[in-house]
Chains A and B, each alone.
Chain A
């Protein structure tokens, strides 16, 4: 059974918990970055060349 010591200033992560959280955050950051690139590329393709010719 896990026992947690609660510091009045907040929760203290164990080294394993801190490491796994850092790895998850890096993975989430990479995925979000890839999604940004994907949506950017798809938007350009969907709009096509007409996006550079504003209506008069």
Chain B
């Protein structure tokens, strides 16, 4: 019986045997981000002006979710070096050694190919092309280029996270319309205050990894001002579904109330600048921003489901 160790394993062609479990691969696809993608893509699907076949709609939704998961895995593959340096990400599968970078890359590429091809077979070329572009934009444009090179990284890169409603709508209608574009704008305007609020409370973490987030580059005070400006823009865009007629007055009232609260919290972030209170205020805005988006999209989904049920009678 012969004995080899890790130093000779590569030379002998003997690869390390994986101890990764399904939950490690599940962690690679960033399930919380996938949740948000499912909700926003579903809103896009249900915005279709005609009833959607349940099987086709569900299949398209699964493809979009898997595509988002693939983007997350490829992001973790590329960012493995900085993930290891940040407290928030140091427990991810690659930094902890549960999954190798090569396994993650393979996993991400297989998932993204499967998602795009299946979406093409299930729906149409436009939706598949948009999904492919979304994955490309998030992985290549945001992860590989913008994230490490400019404080505007999440502003421009946020476009990837805003595309699912358009992909969902295109999957069931074959074209793009104003309604999914409004939802794109909503998520696009939401992304900067959401991530900058987190960055304000995690400046050290991002600084350790050398990621040029806005607070690390332009300073916390400038970031607070930008958060406030984007919050006002977001509140205004949040009213557009009602203004354009594809959401009810109930949505309009909810959006107005939540938008005012969002601005109020952004003003607090702008004014409270010192000590632990500043971090807490920023994190409260971060958590509220998640509630804001989920409630608005849940309201839209409920209305559209009721609309579909009414149309079927």
Contacts and interface: CB of A to CB of B under 8 A. Distances in A.
Given A3-B5, A6-B4, A45 B21 contact: no
A38 B59 contact: yes
Interface string A1-43: 1111111100101001100110110110000000000100110
B122 A6 contact: no
Interface stretch (B11-19, B232-240, B244-252, B257-265): B11-19
A5 B4 CA distance: 7
A16 B55 contact: no
B274 to A, nearest CB: 48
A1 B6 contact: yes
Contacts of A13: 17
A23 to B, nearest CB: 5
A28 to B, nearest CB: 9
A45 B17 contact: no
A23 B121 CA distance: 30
A6 B2 contact: yes
Interface residues of A, number: 22
Chain B contact residues, majority secondary structure? mixed
Chain A contact residues, majority secondary structure? helix
Given A23-B22, A27-B22, A45-B56, A17 B1 contact: no
Nearest to A26: B22
B20 interface: yes
Nearest to B14: A4
Given A1-B7, A42-B59, A24 B17 contact: no
B19 A17 contact: yes
Interface string B105-122: 000000000000000011
B9 interface: yes
A20 B14 CA distance: 19
Give the most central of A4, A16, A26, A38: most B CB within 10 Å: A4
Interface of A: 1-8, 11, 13, 16-17, 20-21, 23-24, 26-27, 38, 41-42, 45
Q: Which 9 A-B pairs have the closest CB atoms?
A: A27-B22, A3-B5, A45-B55, A20-B19, A41-B55, A17-B17, A23-B21, A20-B21, A6-B2
Given A42-B59, A42-B121, 8 more contacts: A1-B7, A2-B6, A7-B1, A13-B17, A21-B17, A23-B21, A42-B55, A42-B122
